[in-house]
Structure 1
Amino acid sequence: MSKELISMLSSRLIAVISFFLALTLVRGFEGTIGVNYGTVANNLPPPAQVAHFLLESTVINRVRLFDANPEILRAFAHTGVAVTISVPNDQIPDLTKLNFAQQWVEDYIQPHTPATNIVRILVGNEVISTANKLLIVSLVPAMETLQTVLVAASLDRRIQVSTPHSLGILSNSSPPSTGKFRQGYDTHVIKPLLSFLRDSNSPFMVNPYPFFDCSPDTLDYALFRPNAGVFDENTRVFYTNMLDAQLDAVFSAMKLLGFDDLEIVIAETGWPSMGDATQFGVDAKSAAEYNGNLMRHVTSGVGTPLMPNRTFETYIFALFNEDLKPGPTCERYFGLFRTDMTPVYDIGILRPTVAAAANIEHATCLLVITVGLLIIKNHG
């Protein structure tokens, strides 16, 4: 067999193997990776187009909304995409009232389910970190009232109720084994909240952002790059990335209150692809590194040092760059995609295209034909 023929066969075989490895990776991501679908922009594509794009062109089959936009909910009807919707913070006090909660469910849930696969309602976002006393004391009662309405409507087995938290709920997080909830909130708010989540079989949801906690010295640690690691004297383990340390600090705080059996869901995490000149590590390369490594890590089944052998349902922030978001430049560039739905960078979220599949199929046919001809020739 000539060297040229061997080379041709090898290249085609590599192409075939690479394609099927890519398919394996895609299947591994499905079901656990979601995205935050924010709408603070004036140039977003229509929701129906977004839903079709996510379903047909990406491995994302979970989305989190920051409201309960009816147009978006209709767009995801009959797609099977798992949709998480939100009650805005300012409606939390009203949600403690049964009549308001009933009307909210009638307006935003019942017209859309089961056609739209609504799986979770989030009551507010980072409520405890607002330091708004009315919102904080109303949080758990609002969740309980909403759950009562869902039970009455026979929707409680289909739809969970939870609320996401920033890591500001922790008074201590380093080392991770000493994680503790803020005093006062721990027993009066968080413990009743955890009890509600356990009783309703719902997850505890957090928004860990290594981006906001890292320094130039810990950038590699935040991006899952090779680094010296951080040693926890109490557990005698090394942490090789900041996300694991953040999650284990939350786990330790939950364990301290007796709730280490609850599932933890990452409601938000991400990395911006652009920022101000004074910021470090803010570029498309770093964003691709973080989100790509994040996806591989949370779906690997490795877990964390204190929560081994598990995967984490994770929602990347965000689907699109949002040009109307206030604050520093980076706040407007967390998107995986531009508003024309082209990727800002490639982290394996796009499915193998039909064209790529066709090329591989063609290469496979050529490979089979070539091998067949060689066999005939050698035995002729």
Structure 2
Amino acid sequence: MAMDTFSLFISTLFIFFHITAVASIGVNYGTMGNNLPPPSQVAQFLKTQTTINRVKIFDMNPDIIRAFANTNISLSVTIPNGLIPQLADLATARSWVGANIRPFYPQTKIEYILVGSEVLHWGDAAMVNNLVPAMRSLHHAVNKAGFTAIKVTTQHSLGILNSSRPPSSASFQFGWQQYFLTPMLEYHRQSKSPFMVNPYPYFAWNPSDNNFALFRPNPGLFDRATGKNYTNAYDLLLDAVFVSMKKLGFGDVQIAVGETGWPSAGDPGQWQCTVANARWHNLNVARKAESGVGTPLMPGRKFDTFLFSLFNENLKPGAMDERSFGLFRPDFSAVYDIGIMRQAQAGGGATPTPVTPTSGKQWCVPKKGATDASLQSNINWACTSGGVDCSAVKAGGPCFNPNTTRSHAAYIMNAYYQAKGHQDFNCDFSGTGVVTTSDPSYGACKYTA
């Protein structure tokens, strides 16, 4: 037991201190926004500016599928839940592949066809009963078409689990085991496709579990049955899925992560929704995906992983956090940096450790060379999602003059840095901010410190 814990500790140190950037990661590209850029721009941005090499969409939008042609980015597409009963018929499945896959493949590198999304959780009886037959029909159809590299799967919320703590006690919901999940896992074994799940530590978050959910130092949760100690919720959830599969005899089936993420902003009272927390959670998930360190019960295993999500989507219903999962704003400026930009940015994926306190004061100001466009993006974000009081730079305010983008950005970036804590990553602003010990205050415009 001591050796296992020590090995896990050494592996964790390797991830955090020897991987300086994230080489590649998948991302979910949702489109519930009225301010999002066109698909062609999105595809070119991802290809030329980021290391993202996998994209998953939630529909069969032909404009998006066409936009990713010849980008060498793998695209996963999703069939609407309502079509599942029809696609259980083999002839219909072959016709669907001919109409929806053949016109785009292989120019667009389609990797996965997802038969619905979280069907066992949200679907009606007809969808649930026909899910596995539809997966089999579509698998047969893509093979008949000669598209043998395309895998057919579906993604599940972790509502399929009866329990997860500790992982050794985990099992699938009893009513789904025999009739749905056993034949589904048999299909995955035969087709060599992954069982795709959506492990979100965020949705199980509570204040007492904050460090455990966010990969921050904590004593961990010890599983007596396996002798494994869990220091983060993400590993725990994945191992709970693995144990549940193994109890049905399918521990050999691969697992993929369809969605996971953390919001960078929320409604009042959702203090866990910050840029720092979102960055730290997603940085750790991405590093784990790339390193192949695996989990306590699946050491050395890599999981195809899709972060949620590409953009903040302003038309998503619900609370503010639902609209704040994006890695990027609609203008392509980064909400935070996890090391996926091809051109290195400040922070570049390095561990966001707190700055060592000094006796002097510190302020956050724009870097020399930061463009007005990027600084205006900082202003727009900080004055809305960032929670900064920007009244001082409005007409009549003490910091309105000089009326320049750079001057206004300096005040606002510093206000955010001071409010969120003196850490380097709170003055990152996608590589446009820098910490200084020179007070930028002037006249009646006083910068807090």
Query: TM-score of the superposition, structure 1-length normalised?
Result: 0.84
For residue 251 of structure 1, the aligned residue among 213, 217, 242 is 242
Aligned residue in 1 for 2:99: 107
Aligned residue in 2 for 1:195: 186
Q: 1:302 to 1:353 in 2, by over 3 A?
A: closer
Q: 1:73 to 1:46 in 2, by over 3 A?
A: same
Alignment of 1:177-216 (within 5 A): 177-216=168-207
Aligned residue in 2 for 1:80: 72
8 Å contact kept, 1:216–1:280? no
Alignment of 1:356-375 (within 5 A): none
SS in 2 for 1:196: helix
C-alpha distance after superposition, 1:211-253 (max 9, x if no partner): 0101111111111011110011111121010000000000000
**C-alpha separation in 2, matches of 1:81 and 1:192:** 31
Letter in 2 for 1:171: N
Aligned residue in 1 for 2:260: 269
For residue 172 of structure 1, the aligned residue among 163, 167, 185 is 163
C-alpha distance after superposition, 1:300-341 (max 9, x if no partner): 222111001122211000000011111111111100000000
**C-alpha separation in 2, matches of 1:63 and 1:210:** 21
Structure 2 residue 118 is matched with structure 1 residue 126? yes
Q: 1:140 to 1:327 in 2, by over 3 A?
A: same
For residue 56 of structure 1, the aligned residue among 33, 48, 56 is 48
SS in 2 for 1:277: coil
8 Å contact kept, 2:94–2:141? yes
What is the CA distance between 1:25 and its match in structure 2?
4.5
8 Å contact kept, 2:85–2:126? yes
Aligned residue in 2 for 1:12: none
Q: Please give the root-mean-square deviation of Cα atoms over the aligned residues, in Å.
A: 1.6
C-alpha distance after superposition, 1:251-293 (max 9, x if no partner): 0000001110111110000000111112231011110111111
Aligned residue in 2 for 1:322: 313
Structure 2 residue 333 is matched with structure 1 residue 342? yes
C-alpha distance after superposition, 1:171-195 (max 9, x if no partner): 1211101110011210110000000
Letter in 1 for 2:303: F
Letter in 2 for 1:37: Y
**C-alpha separation in 2, matches of 1:159 and 1:145:** 13
Aligned residue in 2 for 1:242: 233
Query: TM-score of the superposition, structure 2-length normalised?
Result: 0.71
Structure 2 residue 28 is matched with structure 1 residue 40? no
Structure 1: give runs of 5+ residues left out of the alignment. Answer: 1-21, 355-380
For residue 127 of structure 2, the aligned residue among 117, 135, 148 is 135
**C-alpha separation in 2, matches of 1:49 and 1:249:** 39
**C-alpha separation in 1, matches of 2:132 and 2:198:** 19
Structure 2 residue 149 is matched with structure 1 residue 151? no
8 Å contact kept, 1:83–1:119? yes
8 Å contact kept, 2:19–2:287? no
**C-alpha separation in 1, matches of 2:193 and 2:110:** 14
**C-alpha separation in 1, matches of 2:298 and 2:212:** 19
Aligned residue in 2 for 1:373: none
Letter in 2 for 1:47: P
Structure 2 residue 88 is matched with structure 1 residue 96? yes
Aligned residue in 1 for 2:23: 29
**C-alpha separation in 1, matches of 2:186 and 2:23:** 31
What is the CA distance between 1:119 and its match in structure 2?
1.1
**C-alpha separation in 1, matches of 2:95 and 2:134:** 14
8 Å contact kept, 2:222–2:230? yes
8 Å contact kept, 2:81–2:123? no
8 Å contact kept, 1:38–1:66? yes
**C-alpha separation in 1, matches of 2:57 and 2:18:** 28
**Taking every aligned residue pair, what percent have the same amino acid on both sides?**
50
8 Å contact kept, 2:170–2:244? yes
Bigger fraction of residues in helix: 1
8 Å contact kept, 1:144–1:196? yes
C-alpha distance after superposition, 1:358-378 (max 9, x if no partner): xxxxxxxxxxxxxxxxxxxxx
Count of aligned pairs between the two proteins: 329
Letter in 1 for 2:265: M
Q: 1:40 to 1:222 in 2, by over 3 A?
A: same
Q: Which moved more, 1:89-98 or 1:197-206?
A: 89-98
C-alpha distance after superposition, 1:83-131 (max 9, x if no partner): 1001011111111123322222122100000100001100001111125
